[in-house]
Chains A and B, each alone.
Chain A
């Protein structure tokens, strides 16, 4: 195996149901329902998915949701902004833990 990730593996995702079909069925039904048009449009949901894909750094999801965002009518500026949202939250999540650091340091320091 040259690499753990291969683009041709992405279409094999559905094969995961061969292991635990009932659970996979529930998951894929849920997944489909989540991405259906609701209070949020499918385009907005796809942009959120793209941002999350970057936050969790999933190459499959980045590939799939880059294409999906374009197919839903988003443009590169919107997609880039969505990634900045993920980045801000990820960075912010680290930084906000500085409060804990400050609490602890404050408690034990003179």
Chain B
């Protein structure tokens, strides 16, 4: 199943699992509609290069990847961010810190938006040459969203690789020392905890409470918010699900936990996602299967107006991830 393609046919699902209703048909059966609201967020994937090869990565990012946003595409992104107004701009990867143009991007995007976010794996930023980047992030008051799946080293490293846990703790200490995650600094540090396997995430509220208590007790670490997200069955995580015989039960579990209340808050309703080479998607997950926004491969330089209320959203069966339980916003 290496070349997944979202099917147009309502009866044919992405994963070829007979017991799985297609996502679109499931919406129809429930009398539901998933269309866009106002577009308020620009998400930029600056490349698939990463210092880690996390087992749950939906984009199969890793150290050998050559897909990195070029200076030309960075310019196109800056032009896009200048042409339209975005309340939030969200930079992701791979490890965004490894893109050679990341400092330019951050410096020039910061004045264009209320909230600029950098998604960090907490290890790429720990490299010695990243000291200037850390200072820049703090100076521009960039919100950091950092991965920390578990408070248990073994469990965390089963997802993110050897030695990643101690480095992550060290980076969190460094971020706290810069003022990140502390009251009244304006430097927001948010954590993301993905399940370390083929199961649903724990309750966000309860996990945040436990992480806050344990991180403070064990390491004197502080953060602002914690988000729990289910793993998306694409990329390297899909390969793992297939190889371990977990695919069918996992997808069916996601579908069985479909919660229509999540639809209103889905991120695909209010963001555009730009791939490393400058093409437009409804979300970062759709990039993994070349499921383009509005069904057409369109470059950001050709975008004349932002998608708006009632415009369509490209969906496939991986979308059950964002609608399971409390959802993914």
Chain A interface (Cβ within 8 Å of chain B)?
Answer: 37, 41-43, 67, 70-73, 75-78
Contact = CB atoms under 8 A, between A and B. Distances in A.
A77 B154 contact: yes
B197 A43 contact: no
Contact of A41 (B152, B196, B197, B206): B206
22 contacts: A37-B206, A41-B206, A41-B210, A42-B203, A43-B210, A67-B199, A70-B195, A70-B197, A71-B195, A71-B200, A71-B201, A71-B202, A72-B202, A73-B150, A73-B193, A73-B207, A73-B210, A75-B150, A75-B151, A76-B155, A77-B152, A77-B154
A73 B199 contact: no
Contacts of A70: 195-197, 199
Q: Which of A70, A76, A78 has the most CB of B within 10 A?
A: A70
B206 A43 contact: yes
Determine the main DSSP class of A at the interface with B: helix
A11 to B, nearest CB: 9
B217 to A, nearest CB: 15
Interface string B173-214: 000000000000000000001011101111100110010000
What 4 pairs across the A-B complex have the smallest Cβ distances?
A: A75-B152, A73-B202, A75-B155, A70-B199
A75 B154 contact: yes
Contacts of A77: 152, 154
Interface residues of B, number: 17
Nearest to A11: B256
B129 to A, nearest CB: 34
Given A37-B206, A41-B206, A71 B199 contact: yes
A20 to B, nearest CB: 26
Contacts of B210: 41, 43, 73
A70 B230 CA distance: 12
A75 B157 CA distance: 12
Nearest to A37: B206
B204 to A, nearest CB: 10
Interface of B: 150-152, 154-155, 193, 195-197, 199-203, 206-207, 210
A89 B150 CA distance: 29
A7 to B, nearest CB: 9
A78 to B, nearest CB: 8
Given A70-B195, A70-B197, 17 more contacts: A37-B206, A41-B206, A41-B210, A43-B202, A43-B206, A67-B199, A70-B199, A71-B195, A71-B202, A72-B202, A73-B150, A73-B206, A73-B210, A75-B151, A75-B152, A75-B154, A77-B152
A75 B196 CA distance: 9
A67 B257 CA distance: 14
Nearest to A77: B152
Given A67-B199, A71-B195, A42 B155 contact: no
Contacts of A73: 150, 193, 202, 206-207, 210
Nearest to B207: A73
B45 to A, nearest CB: 28
Contacts of B152: 75, 77-78
Contacts of B207: 73
Contacts of A76: 154-155
A38 to B, nearest CB: 12
A71 B197 CA distance: 9
Interface centre among A71, A73, A75 (most CB of B within 10 A): A73
Contacts of A43: 202, 206, 210
A37 B154 CA distance: 27
A37 B205 CA distance: 11
Contacts of B193: 73
A41 B155 CA distance: 21
Contacts of A67: 199
